Amino acid sequence: MEVLMEFDTTTSTTTMEKRHRHHLEKVQWLRCSVQNYDWGQKGRDSRVAKLFALNSGSQIDPERPFAEFWMGTHESGPSFLVRNEETTNGHLSFEPESESLKSWISNNPNVLGEKVVQKWGADLPFLFKVLSVAKALSIQAHPDKELAKTLHKLLPSIYKDDNHKPEMALAITQFEALCGFISLQELKSVVLNVPEIVELVGSSEANQVLEISDQDGEEKVKSVLRSTFTKLMSASQEMIVEVTSKMKNRLHLESQVRQLTEKERLVLELEKQYPADIGVISAFFFNYVKLNPGEALYLGANEPHAYLFGECIECMATSDNVVRAGLTPKHRDVNTLCSMLTYKQGFPEILQGVPLNPYVRRYLPPFDEFEVDSCNLPQQESTVFPAIPGPSILLVTLGEGIMHNTSCPRGDVIIEGDVLFVPANTEISITSASGLQLYRAGVNSRFFQAS
């Protein structure tokens, strides 16, 4: 087992003296959950592991993957209120009998603000996460509300809630993903240049793709794409094994006489991670997206995607519903996935964030449930998070600072790994003691403007 001190979680005496929890009556410190999915980055390489260790005082197993750090009320990874105690390293202790954030909110719904309760009831409408991705996640989509209700009713052990799950990934490092279907022109080029796809879907299906044009109308194009993609995803395992092997050998041979495309190199990498998996070949159908740090990608319901590599902040509606069909050892539901997708084509919109002031950028996806602010505060600089009509969760990912609000003018120290629940109508100001980086998730501000 790795000891926590590997992560240099020491805190100065002055910090220790200031870290009292009774000052900020309104703001709640949280102890949050971790998910050890096998695609996560291992031990000390993982930002998720580091934040979880700092947040909970846990020890880190260097051989274990740490995939997702969850902050919110979803029962698959709940957060708990931290009582007014500390451990010797300045981080908060956690008593097992601590109340969950979900239970505390349901007993104090006023912390959400009136409009949020009216729309979503006495629960947080968003789930906030950090992801550390070492290898590809499954090719997947998230159901809309109607489909989520049906799936939850039919298969509650797999689809664990009845909510939709629009989401947004904000890159911390360079972050790679497959997302949405490529354009019709690109699809034609794939059918012409990847003979293995023709072998899997059949030549009459392939010819339909080559013969159709944008003039035939959006619905006809979608219908051909749906039919081709469904045929590909429904191929027999025997065919997939044979054709994937053929493709791998062909690309290795061709790489000796020409430079492989980015997508071809990616497909070979995916094949190493998930041999003989239909997800490897289906990657040719999707846009290959590379985000730089500070860029964000959002995904609506019924849009296919797979995160591939890197670390990101993620926010979504409070749900864990995933319909998978490739690049996974988990349950696959190919029929549901192929029938639910929108089959919208073209490169996704990349959000750069809107500057609110010199230190804070806001990422506003087209969903009511959430928005994310990114804050980089140089030493000795201050910023204010104004009182808003809904709740927020703050995550400190780097550095140390002092947080003030009206109930605590003296301030309270916040440090890396701290997660705070800020109730509706609570203004807080933060001053950086060293380079401070934090992220805030809250209900989308457009929701309050519209209502």
Decide if 34 is inside a domain: yes
Could you tell me if 387 and 375 lie in one domain? yes
Same domain, 52 and 186: no
326, 389: one domain: no
* pLDDT tens by residue, 206-242: 999 999 998 999 999 999 999 999 999 999 999 999 9
Are 280 and 327 in contact by the 8 Å Cβ rule? The answer is: yes
d(CA 168, CA 396): 19
Q: Which of 351, 385, 401 lies at the terminal end of a domain, its last residue? A: 351
- Per-residue b or e along 113-134, where b marks 16 or more CB atoms closer than 10 Å to that residue's CB: beebbeebebbbbbbbbbbbbb
CATH at residue 109: 2.60.120.10
Compute the distance between CA of residue 418 and CA of residue 31 in angstroms, rounded to an integer.
8
**Both tokens of residue 366?**
């087209």
Residue at a domain's end among 351, 368, 384? 351
- Cβ-based neighbours of 382, under 8 Å, separated by 6 or more: 429, 430, 431, 432
Cross-strand pairs, 289? 177
Catalytic one among 324, 332, 361, 440? Answer: 324
Q: Is 404 annotated as a binding residue?
A: no
- Residues composing the chain: 451
**Whole-model pTM over 0.85:** yes
Residues 122 and 222 placed together within one structural domain of the fold: no
Q: How far apart are the first and last CA of the chain?
A: 51
**Residue 351: half-sphere exposure toward Cβ, Cα within 13 Å:** 22
Give tens-digit pLDDT for 418-444: 999 999 999 999 999 999 999 999 999
Q: Specify the number of domains making up the chain.
A: 2
CB 175 within 8 Å of CB 312 = yes
pLDDT at 83: 75
For residue 181, the enclosing domain spans 149-351
Q: What CATH code is carried by the domain that includes residue 242?
A: 1.10.441.10
**Is 23 known as a binding-site position?**
no
Told to judge if 324 belongs to the known catalytic residues of this protein, a careful annotator would answer yes
Q: Phi then psi for 357, rounded to 5 degrees?
A: -160, -175
Same domain, 211 and 322: yes
Residue 167 assigned as binding residue: yes
pLDDT in tens, the chain (451 residues): 333 333 333 333 333 333 444 444 589 999 999 999 999 999 888 999 999 999 999 889 999 999 999 999 999 999 999 975 543 344 445 455 589 999 999 999 999 999 999 999 999 999 999 999 999 999 999 998 899 999 989 888 888 888 888 999 999 999 999 999 999 999 999 999 999 999 999 999 999 999 999 899 999 999 999 999 999 999 999 999 999 999 999 999 999 999 999 999 999 999 999 999 999 999 999 999 999 999 999 999 899 999 999 999 999 998 888 899 998 888 889 999 999 999 999 999 999 999 999 999 999 999 999 999 999 999 999 999 999 999 999 999 999 999 988 766 678 999 999 999 999 999 999 999 999 999 999 999 999 997 6
Condensed to tens digits (0 to 9), the pLDDT of residues 325-361 reads 998 888 889 999 999 999 999 999 999 999 999 999 9
The response to whether 142 counts as a known ligand-binding position is yes
CA distance 314 to 67: 12
CA torsion 22-27-29-34 (nearest 10°) is 170
